[in-house]
Structure 1
Amino acid sequence: MTADIRTTPAATPGRARAGDDRHRERPRRRGRFGVHLFLTAVSLAFLAPLLLAVYASLRPYEETAQHGYFSLPEHLSFDYYRQAFSDSGMGQYFKNTLIIAVPAVLITLFLASFVAFAVSRLKVRGGMVLLMFFTAGNLLPPQVIVTPLYVLFLKIPLPWWMSDSLTMYDSYWAVIVVNIGFQLGFCVFVLANFMRTLPQEILEAAIVDGAGLWTQFWRITLPLCRPALAALGTLEFTWVYNDFLWALIFISNPNKLPITSSLNNLRGQFFTDYNLLAAGSVLVALPTILVFLLLQRHFIAGLTLGSSKG
Structure 2
Amino acid sequence: MYPRSIPEDVPVRRFAYGAMVALILALWLVPLLAVMATSLRSFEEVMAGNYWGWPRSFNFIENYTAVFTQTAMARYFLNSLIVTLPSVGGVLVLSTLSGFVLSRYRFRGADLMFALFVGGNFLPAQIMMIPVRDLMVSIGLYDTYYALIVFHVAFQTGFATLFMRNFIAALPDELFQAARAEGASPWQTLWHVVLPLIRPALAALAILTFTFVWNDYFWAIVLTQSDAVKPVTAGLSNLRGEWVSAWNLVAAATIMVAIPPVVMFFLMQRHFIAGLTVGAVKG
Please, what TM-score do these two structures have when normalized by structure 2? 0.88
Alpha-carbon offset, residue 128 of structure 1: 2.6
Distance 1:74 1:64 in 2: 10
1:117 aligns with: 100
Candidates 77, 84, 88, aligned match of 1:94: 77
Distance 1:307 1:35 in 2: 26
Question: Do structure 1's residue 228 and structure 2's residue 201 form an aligned pair?
Answer: yes
Amino acid at match of 1:180: V
Candidates 47, 64, 73, aligned match of 2:55: 73
Candidates 184, 200, 220, aligned match of 2:173: 200
C-alpha change, 1:124 and 1:40, in structure 2 (3 Å) is farther
Alpha-carbon offset, residue 192 of structure 1: 1.0
Alpha-carbon offset, residue 32 of structure 1: 8.1
Amino acid at match of 1:74: R
C-alpha change, 1:200 and 1:48, in structure 2 (3 Å) is farther
C-alpha change, 1:289 and 1:148, in structure 2 (3 Å) is same
3-state SS, counterpart of residue 243 of structure 1: coil
1:112/1:184 contact within 8 Å kept: yes
1:126 aligns with: 109
Question: Do structure 1's residue 245 and structure 2's residue 218 form an aligned pair?
Answer: yes
C-alpha change, 1:88 and 1:65, in structure 2 (3 Å) is closer
Identity of aligned residues (%): 39
Question: Do structure 1's residue 58 and structure 2's residue 40 form an aligned pair?
Answer: yes
Alpha-carbon offset, residue 254 of structure 1: 1.8
Question: How many pairs were matched up?
Answer: 277
Distance 1:34 1:229 in 2: 39
1:87/1:266 contact within 8 Å kept: no
1:160 aligns with: none
RMSD: 2.5
Alpha-carbon offset, residue 295 of structure 1: 1.2
1:180 aligns with: 153
Amino acid at match of 1:59: R
1:243/1:260 contact within 8 Å kept: yes
3-state SS, counterpart of residue 254 of structure 1: coil
Unpaired segments of 5 or more residues in structure 1?
Answer: 1-23, 157-166
Unpaired segments of 5 or more residues in structure 2?
Answer: 1-5
1:112/1:188 contact within 8 Å kept: yes
Candidates 273, 278, 281, aligned match of 1:305: 278
Deviation readout 1:249-287 (Å, 9 max, x if unpaired)? 222332111111221232111112222211110011111
C-alpha change, 1:201 and 1:30, in structure 2 (3 Å) is farther
C-alpha change, 1:131 and 1:40, in structure 2 (3 Å) is farther
Q: Which segment is superposed worse, 138-147 or 287-296?
A: 138-147
Distance 1:71 1:259 in 2: 28
Distance 2:141 2:172 in 1: 43
Amino acid at match of 2:175: I
1:87/1:265 contact within 8 Å kept: no
Alpha-carbon offset, residue 63 of structure 1: 3.0
Q: Which segment is superposed worse, 249-258 or 108-117?
A: 249-258
2:231 aligns with: 258
Distance 2:187 2:13 in 1: 49
3-state SS, counterpart of residue 228 of structure 2: helix
1:145 aligns with: 128
Larger radius of gyration: 1
